[in-house]
Each structure stands twice: as C-alpha cells, then as structure tokens.
Amino acid sequence: NNDQVERVIRDRRVQAVSFTGSSAAGAKVAAVAASEIKPAVLELGGSDPCLILSDADLDKAAEVVTLSRIINAGQSCIAAKRIIVEAPVYDAFIDKLATRLSALKLGDPRAESTDVGPIARPDLRDNLHRQVRQTIDAGARCLLGGEMPEGDGFFYPVTLLVDVTPGMAASCEETFGPVAVVMKADDAEQALAMANDSDYGLAGSVWTRTERGEALARRMETGQVSVNGIVKTDPRLPSGGIKRSGVGRELGAHGIHEFVNAQQVWIGPVKG
C-alpha cells in the first residue's frame, strides 16, 4: 500500500528510486523521493502517436499497429494509442486496420486461441469505457466494440474509434486497453503538430520513407521513436519519456548513469 511504499522510499538504506506506473502515482513517488533528496527515474503513462503517411506500406503498418495497440490487451505504456493518418490514405488504412482488429478473439488468457485478455481491474475498465463513450458522444464514430460486455471477468471488446479529433477524451487522455483511436491529418506537418499536441511524451512511431521518417522522428516530442516498426524497449538503448511521461532514462548506458556517482577527483601538483 501507499504507506509501505513511502516507508521504503524514506528508508536510509534506499539511495534512489526507479518507478514505472501512472503519472498520478509517479508524482506521489517523486514527491516523497524529493523530500528525502533522493534521485528518481520515472517511466509513466503515455498517449503515443503513430503517424501513417500517404507513402507508407499500409498493409505492413496495419499489421504492426494492430499488434502494438492490442498487445497485453492494450495495457502497455508504449503502444500506438493515437493513430494519426494522412488524409489521402485515411479510409484505406481504416479498412485494413478494421479487418485485422475484427479478427481478434477476446477470451481466457490461458487459452492459446485467445488474442485479447481482460483488463487488470474493474476501475480501469470503467474508466476506459468512460473514455470511449465520451469520445463517441463528442462525435467520433465507433466501427468496432464500444459496449461493456456482460458476464464474469473484466473484459473489454476490441474497439475502433475513427474521426477522433483533438480535445476528445480518447485523444487527450491515456487509453489503457484494447481501443484503437484514429485521427485524420491533412498532411505530414499537421500530423506532426497533432502528435506533439499532448501532455504526454513517452514514445511515438512514423510510417513513411526511411529518410523522411528519420527527419520527422527528430521533431517528435517523445523519448523514443520507431520508424516503420513497432515501438518497444531494448536493454541496449535508453528508454523513457518527457512531459508527463516521466523523468530520466532506463536501460542502456543512460539508465546506468542515472544511479552512479560521477565523482570528481582532483590531485594537486607535487613539488620536488
């Protein structure tokens, strides 16, 4: 519980803190650590943008985006959560994405035939459903799912929301579940602006020509970017976010340096 965590952080034997979780919980952990003058690395929530530009391989993008959004029943910090599609390929990409999402099976996570398991807690499912309903009420179209299922377990159906616009709940809040949110951009510049218009900055991805994707990636306000591939962590590379998505880096050399003492030793000149 919270009291136990606070006692651990305040214990003199604990020299630093690394936390992965929600932005709200991270703020509390950081506050306790700061009050004890202890460093903290925070890997928090995200609303990762995924840019699909008109020159992208739509079939490959739809395949990877489906995995990125649905892995672990959509309960992943880094995932394709805001899918921003350039106007010329908007309808075509939605068709391809809908085909793949509709084929997924919701059920017992212990069964090999299951693609999507349950949500971790009932309150998380309730909040996800609130986000979906508020987004639909604000004008988005729901092509798949969107209804709270009956029966045992905290299951939520694979849901596809399209025509989502900035300001809607599913575009400005983190959706932690199997909900794909699709937004339309007039061009690449607008897509990038929409991607950066977020309180979060954990990860992002872009689907386009490699050189163009690399150039756009450098302008994305995130801690990591994937070009023509799934966003993921790698123990060899630094991982973390900016804005409300965290502080510091995990993994790689940067992650090690977060918790070492860069000590200066100066030896004066010796006479004679």
In the set 77, 173, 174, 250, the catalytic residue is 77
In the set 6, 36, 43, 63, the catalytic residue is 43
Element of type H or E holding 154: none
Distance of CA 29 to the CA centre of its chain: 20
Neighbours of 209 (CB within 10 A): 13
Is residue 43 flagged as an active site residue? yes
- Considering Cα of 162, then 165, then 168, then 174, what sign does the dihedral take? positive
Task: Pull the structure tokens for residue 93.
Answer: 């990409």
Amino acid in position 263: Q
Strand intervals (E) in the chain: 17-20, 40-43, 49-52, 82-86, 141-144, 159-162, 179-185, 200-201, 203-207, 224-227, 242-243, 246-247
Is residue 36 flagged as an active site residue? no
> What is the number of helices (H) and of strands (E) in the chain?
9, 12
Catalytic machinery residues: 43, 77
